[in-house]
Amino acid sequence: MASLLQELTEKRQLISSGQLGQPPLADLVAEIQARLCALGLLDPVIDGSTEAPFLPVRPADGRFGPETFNAIRSFHRYWRLQYNEDQLAPAFFQALADCDPDAFFPIQFSPLAGDGAQTLLAKRVLRYMARKNYWITRAPDQLNIVYVEGAGPDGKPNADQMNKWNDRRMVIRILPGGQPEMLVNDQATTEPGRFYTDNVPKHLAGVARIAFGQYKAWKMGLHKGVQPSLVQRGKVRLHRDINKDGKRDTADPIDIGDGFGINQHSTKPGLVPDSVEKFSAGCLVGRRYDYHLSFMHIVRQDYRYQMNKDYMFVSTIIDGDDLAKAEPM
């Protein structure tokens, strides 16, 4: 059975952008979205539950919104098609139907002669993400934000002691031709400090510990109204550390919501604290403020944000021990 993209190609039919927003063409929008998602240009729909981790659940929401519009624009640019924001031409439908993701935006997962340590680490992380069915953006001007819990700068697992800066904040992009590039690999925490673990508000079962998984949940904003950060605006899944042991136990209640304030922020200017303590109540926190500002500058360059200042960023949180087990050094 021919796809709608193929049918439109064969009919040499033009479709106006306004038509894509109408119910009769919902199936076409979903097919376009699925292709753009497979190419690594359009974020998937990500969801989870109290029983299941957050993962990509489908490649399309069927709505022709700003993110789909900008992914279509990006495809035209990379395929070198003439772009008309008012209508989509048969050449676009044909290119999208025929496009092979591994040829259009390849990813070089395997080590190559001459790869540096950070490139090898980036490849390990990306192989792990692919193994876990996490989505990877492939476009060179779009970025993958990843946190690795309990790992050093080389990706080697550590003791992951409570209240320590023993996690990593990473930003990885795929260069033209498919070679990964590690843009950021900074010291951070994905876990709450001792202070908030011990001093939990009475209305909460326990301090927040973000669950491993992939989330589309952060927008540009200010942490506590002051610090430039990625602030939580979408749903995340949390473990509530009810017994205050600094671990994710099966007995810990699971909490899901979009208003927890699980932000991606930092500490204070001029301070490199030895311990996490009050700097995290469950947020994703970079230890060095200057490095955090560099991280923010880098992620602002993401094409999706440049085209849509209301863009919601995707970030993936993974277990350093599981990374080492699945993708040994």
Final residue belonging to a domain, choices 68, 100, 132: 100
HSE of 233, CA atoms in CB hemisphere, 13 A: 14
Q: Quote the number of domains for the chain.
A: 2
Q: Compute the average pLDDT of residues 8-12.
A: 75
The strand pairing partners of 92, in sequence order, are: none
The Cα 80–Cα 65 span in angstroms is 23
Here the tokens at position 160 are 């992951």
pLDDT at 98 over 50: yes
Q: Which of 12-26, 69-83, 114-128, 223-237 has the lowest mean pLDDT?
A: 12-26
Query: What per-residue confidence (pLDDT) applies to 90?
Result: 87
β-pairing verdict for 264-265 and 236-241: unpaired
Final residue belonging to a domain, choices 100, 132, 149: 100
Here the tokens at position 12 are 């040499």
Confidence of residue 2 (pLDDT cuts 50, 70, 90): low
Confidence of residue 1 (pLDDT cuts 50, 70, 90): very low
Torsion of CA 298, 304, 307, 311, to 10 degrees: -100
Which position has the higher pLDDT, 249 or 25?
249
Asked whether residue 314 is domain-assigned, the answer is yes
Mark whether 81 and 124 lie in a shared domain.
Answer: no
Query: By residue range, what is the domain housing residue 129?
Result: 117-326
Mark whether 36 and 173 lie in a shared domain.
Answer: no
Mark whether 48 and 139 lie in a shared domain.
Answer: no
The Cα 91–Cα 13 span in angstroms is 10
Mark whether 136 and 83 lie in a shared domain.
Answer: no
Asked whether residue 108 is domain-assigned, the answer is no
pLDDT at 251 over 70: yes
Mark whether 284 and 147 lie in a shared domain.
Answer: yes
Here the tokens at position 15 are 């479709």
Mark whether 83 and 189 lie in a shared domain.
Answer: no
Final residue belonging to a domain, choices 100, 131, 165: 100
Mean pLDDT of the chain: 94
